[in-house]
Amino acid sequence: MKTNLLFGIIANSKTRVRCVFCGVYIPKANKCIDQHINGSKHKENIDLMSENGISFHNDADILYCKPCDIYLPENESVTKHIETDSHANWGAAMQDLVEGEFIRLNDYLSSKSDNAFCEVCQSEILCLLPNIEEHVNTLSHRGNIAEKLKPLNGIFNCENDDEVWCKVCDGYLTNSVSYILEHIDEDSQHMEWFMEIEDLIEDQDISLEKYLSNEFEKSAYCKKCNVDVVCNVQSLEQHIHSESHINQLSVIELL
């Protein structure tokens, strides 16, 4: 007789049950079963299932890994499986493909869908490595990525459609997808500005969003002090070390 299928607990014999998620056997007593399913390891395995594309097929009393397209052996727990080379290699390859591409895997990994979702193209993609690779390399996706990144990087269209203006570098770029993405990812001046400013404002609750998305905006915004601060290193440093800002941080920490 099966027991607690929702929690992966199935009957094994007259004296014990098996937890499919954890790959362990438990005495067939309500107290022991409750203690196990309320334990941190069991809950961790449930979370790992939803993050790794592993589902419980209760018609077969078995775990299925969608990324690896295999059923897990009886003695293989969720934790043990995700540490295997095949699963880890899939995860690394997929992460490498979708990083910075605005592609969500949540529904696929939680077994709600067989598809990934591309936020910039507003489209679903069958979640297989070759399909994702093909999608991220299409001209339409690269173009949508460039448009998404422009307001995050202070890049604005010009009256002359042949060029765009980078506010961060105060320079003009050829208005093509490849030039814009290359500038964002590889231009040393552009990258150094972001590294310096972001290092400076880390944990200071200062937002660059308004400055980067508005061509004529000169200030960043300090959420702690509810004030605008001219967006350059000198002004931001002065504000961060000002008595008013330090006092605001102290008040919030006390709360």
Q: Could you give the CA distance from residue 255 to residue 250 in angstroms, rounded to a whole number?
A: 9
Q: Could you give the CA distance from residue 74 to residue 22 in angstroms, rounded to a whole number?
A: 10
The DSSP code for 231 is: S
Give the strand pairing for 24-27 and 103-104. unpaired
Q: Is the C-alpha dihedral spanning 245, 247, 249, 251 positive or negative?
A: negative
Angle between helices 139-149 and 129-136 (to 10 degrees): 70
Q: How far is CA 203 from CA 192, 219, 235, in A?
A: 19, 18, 17
Question: What is the model's pLDDT at position 3?
Answer: 43
Sorted by where each begins, the domain ranges of the chain are 1-83, 85-137, 201-255
Q: In sequence order, what are the beta bridge partners of 118? A: 103, 123
pLDDT digit string, tens, across residues 18-64: 888 888 888 988 899 889 989 999 999 889 999 999 998 766 678 89
pLDDT digit string, tens, across residues 14-25: 888 888 888 888
The DSSP element (H or E) to which 160 belongs, if any, is none
